Structure 1
């Protein structure tokens, strides 16, 4: 595919300014409810995942550590992490905690028992669309020999903990990644490069325009145009991962034909995106397509490589020069 995606640099700068966060944020033990051992917590939102790094220090002599991440988005509250008692664990909350179950696809917990570092990974697609907020809290624990219970430190410090897990969490915006993909075909052939399919002159030609939202935010008023035809259509709303197909039918012309399609969409302002909007920014992609129209009177769909009159004239000239040489 001949494609080109544009997301204005000013849009990126504006998003960072509006969201008030860089790709990574960090906290230490002073941000937790207790300070009995050292903690460095980093949340990295780069790429397709949200990744929490938990590094522990000052826990010499411990025999058991663990960390659990609590997340609340618009649809559910759940917990994942490593528990000293249960190992790697995933639970959901609906007025009470469910039994432990395997981690869903798109989640990972890295760190063996008694580790001093834990990494928890959650796909951004499980948390919501770009521009939406999800809330979270984290619990870190360590147990020393001779103690019957672990020392637990939580962030935020006033988080409601296990009995009220949705209270006093910290909230983070999912970074916006706005993009789209346009694939144009001629009579079912991608035909990015010439000559493309051969079509009898005056036969119908069907162009198909497939538009996909490849980002994580809704796109509105996705407008598809063709440089040889004009407006193909407008898609009012295209959700992340959604594709829509538009078609146009024309009449084949004689000779080599090329047209270029363009799709332009505007990132939607989400109801939870409180700090601004993206109405003045857009994303774009384009795709070329080709065909070669031949005359049915010739009885052949072969693509000519030279003008027949020039070929005959060239042969005649060669014969005349040969006869003159022999005389």
Structure 2
């Protein structure tokens, strides 16, 4: 419904603006936060805020690259079936440019694809008369009846968010497009967290004007939803970190390179290695206190990178979840 789309888009927009204020460089829309009907795969927000510095992406380019890389080498013909999404158009165009013949079942899909292609590329686009191709690229709208028409040994490669239901034991099914993030990747967050945070802090202007001293929903519930807070302090001489329980102000775990045992053992009390030592100690001591999840609230204009990023990443790698 229209009002539901507006409500969802409003929350996502607030999350994007929140990420912009925090200095985020790239924000990728989650699985359920994108779509042609919902927000034109994120174009809605960039049109409303052309001055945005944060780059809003939907992962479609990566999905196209994964699908193209999945197609077996030596393939000369594929059959494209499913709703013609942004990804479907990109895949079909890329294959035609490579000289691979792309077939479609239905004439209306063939006409839509042909209109978007150049004359040279459209020569590799054909209207299928048989189900002979052994490689099928399938998306939303690919039904079970069409699946049963495929010849034995057909390879189904999905380009949709969800894979097709497996109906054939004599065919092969690939998973949906996905990639594994490198282990060295730092400062990665989920857009769903920003959406939740935006929902917590949201107050209408009228309500704020009537009751300016009233605490927001987040202010009233945050100490219970995220009770354990990490604090990290960097001085010129040492690094100090502690985890505190918000409700009681009790210190759960603490680690500092200024401690006697570390001060005599570490060559430097402020370098990257010292950050890793502090992060590992915080994680170990927190788990000893039965604390396996914590949160960190950056100050205004503070970015989770550099030495701070190393401390937090080390804590995550040691089995602590950040919420």
TM range (shorter): under 0.3
Which is richer in helix? 2
| Greater C-alpha radius of gyration | 1
Which is richer in strand? 1
User: What TM-score do you get using the length of structure 1 for normalisation?
Assistant: 0.20
| Higher RCO (CA 8 Å, separation ≥ 6 residues) | 1
